[in-house]
């Protein structure tokens, strides 16, 4: 076999006429006031890494490297990048991986949500600044996929989302366990003194059995399924666990597809259409997915000029039953979902509710991909529309005088006995107040009370996952497992309970929640989709006059930008200046 001759001859055509080649390595030249020189210099530098002109003539495919020692959810990053590179080379492209911010839930202080928009800006600007014709976005842990899709949507390049995949489950004294529904369940047992320090330490070793993302319907799994439903992730890409050969093959194929997308000019706006978002919302509801996905979808849609219509989403929820038997709404883990055929099985069952003509990154429609996936097989993880796990969608949208712009509840993971409930409010002013008093033996609290936590909204605290207020220790010790809880924050998708979240507007900007006091009465009716604060207008006006809110500000740096520009939960908690300037309507289309 004769190897092709190596050449160091410059690409004269591109060097002299860079404007004639606005793709590949010639794209987006650094501004030196002489475009020919800019390209000449760029090529000189990249050749320092050993590239030939022949390699540099190929379509350039960027790969976001979000590997980090702080992020075990992305612990398979080197293997994924290698496979993506292989796929790109097989299809005739030139792979160029580059780093961006990486965020892990447990290693992001004060909360990963504070940094999601920063990661989206990093992703957006690096996609713009560096020459590439398409990009493979590799993310996984909760905020990373939303951040990448937000950034890529703003840029408009052809893009493929590749998720890192879920972790394996572990075993504690022969019981199967996985992060993080079981983390919360076991911690609750420890708080209630049902298990001792030795056992909780043993469990700690088993909850995360490998690298990869949380193994239940947390935000990472939800966003993985949403990415596939949006058509921005490859068919079959959501469920292969992180450490499997299936995951590596998806990575290779993602690289290949990105090259085809670059050649076809299949930009992200052709994939992320209103129909695609509606398909994704169906999947969110049918999988009992994370409530956080609503905030993230609102932010991604906002980058493309769409606003999320929470009322229309609730209408959709009423006729989209939960089909996926996955924790915390069900019993299984992501690896079981994969063994049951993954998203093909779920989408096949949801077919009557989907827009099958929505385009995917493969260039084929969702309907064509489902057809190609075949008829499916007998399994017990995805239920049928006739015999669902839960009769409505996993999430219900609430309105009322406590949440004029909406709030949500994960009804499929709530206690049916508490979903119609009126109780006395026990109020915590902020997360510090909660931490200081929740376990105090002096706390005046009963099981039928409604726990209220203020000032964990976007502006006050970047919406930490603190909406899952712990059951006060003295009630937990009495066996109380659930109470109605209300806040302007979020909770982990892996959590469960009768928990009202995302109360909008938040307390910190003068939402009604700001003036709720211990002793007030609050009524929750999921059936009526309402969250009411039983207070007179006169009393409210008096409290507002007596204690006006002070909208939080920060003096400098990213915190200054964040406090000044972050939007409310219904707008995805994005920064106001990052949303699209052209408005295209609302989704879901009612
Ligand atoms: Fe990364 Fe759960 S902590 S996905």
Probe residue for ligand 1, chosen from 183, 207, 220 as the CB with the greatest number of ligand atoms within 8 Å: 220
Q: What is the pLDDT along the chain (590 residues), one digit of tens a residue?
A: 334 444 444 444 444 444 545 899 999 999 999 999 999 999 999 999 999 999 999 999 999 999 999 999 999 999 999 999 999 999 999 999 999 999 999 999 999 999 999 999 999 999 999 999 999 999 999 999 999 999 999 999 999 999 999 999 999 999 999 998 899 889 989 988 999 999 999 999 999 999 999 999 999 999 999 999 999 999 999 999 999 999 999 999 999 999 999 999 999 999 999 999 999 999 999 999 999 999 999 999 999 999 999 999 999 999 999 999 999 888 999 999 999 999 999 999 999 999 999 999 999 999 999 999 999 999 999 999 999 999 999 999 999 999 999 999 999 989 999 999 999 999 999 999 999 999 999 999 999 999 999 999 999 999 999 999 999 999 998 999 999 999 999 998 878 899 999 999 999 999 999 999 999 999 999 999 999 999 999 999 999 999 899 999 999 999 999 999 999 999 999 999 999 999 999 999 97
- CB contact at 8 A, 458 and 477: no
Beta carbon of 139 within 6 Å of any ligand 1 atom: no
Among the atoms of ligand 1, which is closest to the Cα of residue 218? 2
Q: Alpha carbon 218 to chain centroid distance?
A: 9
Same fold, 58-168+210-373 and 396-552: no
pLDDT of residue 21: 56
292-303 helix and 144-155 helix, angle to the nearest 10 degrees = 10
Instruction: Say which residues have a Cβ less than 8 Å from residue 186's Cβ, sequence separation at least 6.
Output: 172, 177, 195, 200, 203, 207
* Residue from 72, 139, 142, 492 to probe ligand 1 pocket by mutation (most atoms less than 8 Å from CB): 142
Residue nearest to atom 1 of ligand 1 (CA): 141
Tokens of 536: 């007179």
E strand or H helix at 501: strand 499-501
CA distance 100 to 63: 10
Angle of helix 77-90 relative to helix 245-264, nearest 10 degrees? 40
CB contact at 8 A, 500 and 409: yes
CA-angle at 112, arms to 460 and 135, nearest 5°: 130
Instruction: Please give the distance, rounded to the nearest whole angstrom, from the Cα atom of residue 236 to the centre of ligand 1.
Output: 20
Q: Return the CATH architecture of domain 396-552.
A: 3-Layer(bba) Sandwich (3.50)
Shortest-distance Cα residue to atom 3 of ligand 1: 105
Q: Is the CB of 183 under 6 A from ligand 1?
A: no
Residue 28 CA: distances (Å) to CA of 10, 18, 21, 23, 266: 19, 10, 10, 8, 19
- Determine the Cα–Cα distance for residues 502 and 491; give it in Å rounded to an integer: 9
Pocket test for ligand 1, best of 70, 71, 73, 217 (most atoms within 8 A of CB): 73
Q: How far is the CA of 124 from the centre of ligand 1 (A)?
A: 23
Please check whether residue 514 is in contact with residue 552, taking contact to mean a CB–CB distance below 8 angstroms.
no
Q: How many CA atoms are closer than 13 Å to the CA of 195, on its beta-carbon side?
A: 16
Bridge partner residues of 399 (DSSP)? 530
Q: Of the residues 214, 327, 492, 493, which should be mutated to test ligand 1's pocket, given the most ligand atoms within 8 Å of the CB?
A: 214
Q: Does ligand 1 lie within 6 Å of residue 223's CB atom?
A: no
Nearest to 84 by CA among 7, 15, 161: 161
In this structure, how many other beta carbons lie within 10 angstroms of the beta carbon of residue 488?
33
- What atom in ligand 1 is closest to the CA of residue 105? 3
Got the DSSP string for 418-461? GSEEEEEEEEESSHHHHHHHTT-TT----TTSEEEE-S-SHHHH
Half-sphere exposure of 116 (CA within 13 A, CB side): 32
Output the CA torsion sign for 131, 132, 138, 141. positive
Supply the angle between the helices 219-230 and 292-303 in degrees, to the nearest 10: 40
Record the pTM: 0.95
Q: How many whole angstroms from 274 Cα to the centroid of ligand 1?
A: 28
Distance 449 CA to ligand 1 centre (A): 32
**Residue of 66, 75, 141, 221 to mutate, ligand 1, most atoms within 8 A of C-beta:** 141
Q: What is the DSSP string of 519-558?
A: T-EEEEETTTTEEEE---HHHHHHHHHHS-------SSHH
β-partners of residue 585 are: 306
Bridge partners, residue 63, by sequence: 97, 136
**Which residues are within 8 A (CB) of 282 and not within 5 positions of it... i.e. 6 or more apart?**
229, 316, 320, 350, 353, 354
In Å, the largest CA–CA distance within the chain is 90
Distance CA(454)–CA(431), nearest Å, equals: 8
Beta-bridge partners for 424: 521
Ligand 1 centroid to Cα of residue 144, in Å, is 10
User: Helix, strand, coil proportions of the chain in percent (round to 5)?
Assistant: 40, 15, 45
Domain boundaries, the chain: 58-168+210-373, 170-205, 396-552
- Locate the ligand 1 atom nearest the alpha carbon of residue 221 and give its number: 4
CB 213 near ligand 1, within 6 Å: yes
**Residues making up the chain, counted from first to last:** 590
Q: In this predicted structure, what is the pLDDT of residue 149? A: 98
Sheet holding 134-139, edge to edge: 94-99, 60-65, 134-139, 159-163
**493 Cβ below 6 A of ligand 1:** no
What is the CB neighbour count within 10 angstroms for residue 485? 24
What is the whole-number distance in angstroms between the Cα of residue 140 and the centre of ligand 1? 8
Pocket test for ligand 1, best of 112, 179, 182 (most atoms within 8 A of CB): 179
**DSSP assignment letter at 417:** G
Cα separation of 366 and 528, whole Å?
Answer: 35
Look up residue 361 and give its two tokens. Answer: 């990154």
SS (H, E, C) 322-374: ECECECCCCCECHHHHHHCCCHHHHHHHHHHHCCCCCECCCCCEHHHHHHHCC
The residue contributing the CA closest to ligand 1 atom 2 is: 214
Q: Where are the alpha helices (DSSP H) in 63-218?
A: 77-90, 112-129, 144-155, 181-191, 197-206
Closest atom of ligand 1 to CA, residue 140 = 4
| Whether the CB of 220 sits within 6 Å of ligand 1 | yes
From the candidate CATH numbers 3.40.50.2300, 3.90.1150.10, 3.40.50.150, 3.30.360.10, the one assigned to the domain spanning 58-168+210-373: 3.40.50.2300
**Position in ligand 1 atom list of the atom nearest CA 71:** 1
């Amino acid at each position: 076999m004769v190897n092709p001759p190596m050449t160091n001859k410059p690409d004269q055509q591109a060097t002299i006429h860079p404007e004639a080649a606005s793709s590949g390595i010639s794209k987006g030249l650094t501004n030196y006031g002489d475009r020919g020189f800019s390209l000449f210099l760029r090529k000189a530098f990249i050749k320092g890494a050993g590239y030939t002109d022949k390699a540099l003539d190929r379509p350039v495919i960027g790969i976001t490297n979000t590997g980090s020692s702080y992020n075990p959810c992305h612990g398979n990053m080197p293997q994924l990048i290698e496979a993506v590179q292989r796929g790109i080379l097989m299809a005739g492209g030139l792979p160029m991986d580059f780093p961006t911010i990486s965020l892990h839930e447990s290693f992001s202080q004060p909360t990963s949500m504070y940094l999601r928009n920063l990661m989206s800006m990093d992703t957006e600007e690096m996609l713009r600044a560096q020459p590439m014709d398409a990009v493979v976005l590799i993310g996984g842990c909760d905020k990373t996929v939303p951040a990448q899709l937000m950034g890529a949507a703003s840029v408009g390049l052809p893009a493929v989302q590749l998720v890192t995949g879920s972790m394996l489950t572990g075993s504690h004294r022969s019981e199967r366990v996985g992060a993080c529904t079981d983390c919360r369940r076991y911690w609750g047992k420890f708080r209630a003194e049902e298990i001792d320090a030795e056992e909780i330490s043993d469990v700690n070793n088993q909850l995360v059995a490998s690298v990869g993302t949380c193994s239940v319907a947390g935000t990472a799994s939800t966003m993985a399924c949403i990415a596939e439903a949006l058509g921005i992730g490859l068919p079959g890409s959501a469920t292969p666990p992180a450490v499997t050969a299936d995951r590596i093959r998806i990575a290779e194929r993602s690289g290949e597809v990105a090259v085809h997308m670059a050649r076809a000019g299949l930009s992200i706006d052709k994939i992320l259409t209103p129909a695609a978002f509606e398909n994704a919302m169906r999947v969110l509801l049918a999988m009992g997915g994370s409530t956080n996905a609503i905030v993230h979808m609102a932010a991604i849609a906002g980058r493309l000029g769409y606003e999320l219509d929470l009322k229309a989403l609730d209408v959709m929820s009423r006729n989209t039953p939960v089909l996926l038997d996955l924790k915390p709404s069900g019993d299984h883990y992501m690896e079981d979902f994969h063994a049951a055929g993954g998203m093909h099985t779920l989408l096949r069952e949801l077919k009557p509710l989907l827009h099958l003509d929505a385009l995917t990154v493969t260039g084929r429609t969702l309907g064509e991909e489902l057809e190609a996936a075949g008829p499916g097989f007998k399994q017990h993880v995805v239920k049928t529309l006739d015999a669902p796990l839960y009769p409505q969608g996993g999430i219900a949208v609430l309105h009322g005088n406590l949440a004029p712009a909406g709030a949500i509840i994960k009804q499929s993971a709530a206690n049916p006995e508490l979903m119609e409930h009126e109780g006395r409010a026990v109020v915590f002013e902020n997360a510090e107040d909660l931490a200081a008093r929740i376990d105090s033996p002096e706390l005046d609290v009963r099981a039928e009370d409604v726990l209220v936590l203020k000032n964990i909204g976007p502006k006050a605290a970047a919406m930490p996952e603190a909406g899952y207020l712990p059951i006060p220790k003295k009630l937990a010790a009495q066996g109380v497992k659930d109470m109605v809880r209300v806040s302007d924050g979020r909770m982990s998708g892996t959590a469960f309970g009768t928990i009202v979240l995302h109360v909008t507007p938040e307390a910190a900007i003068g939402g009604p929640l700001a003036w709720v006091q211990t002793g007030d009465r609050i009524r929750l009716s999921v059936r009526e989709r309402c969250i009411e604060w039983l207070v007179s207008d006169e009393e409210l006006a008096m409290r507002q006059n007596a204690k006006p809110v002070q909208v939080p500000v920060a003096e400098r740096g990213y915190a200054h930008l964040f406090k000044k520009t972050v939007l409310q939960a219904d707008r995805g908690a994005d920064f106001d200046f990052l949303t699209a300037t052209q408005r295209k309507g609302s989704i879901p289309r009612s």
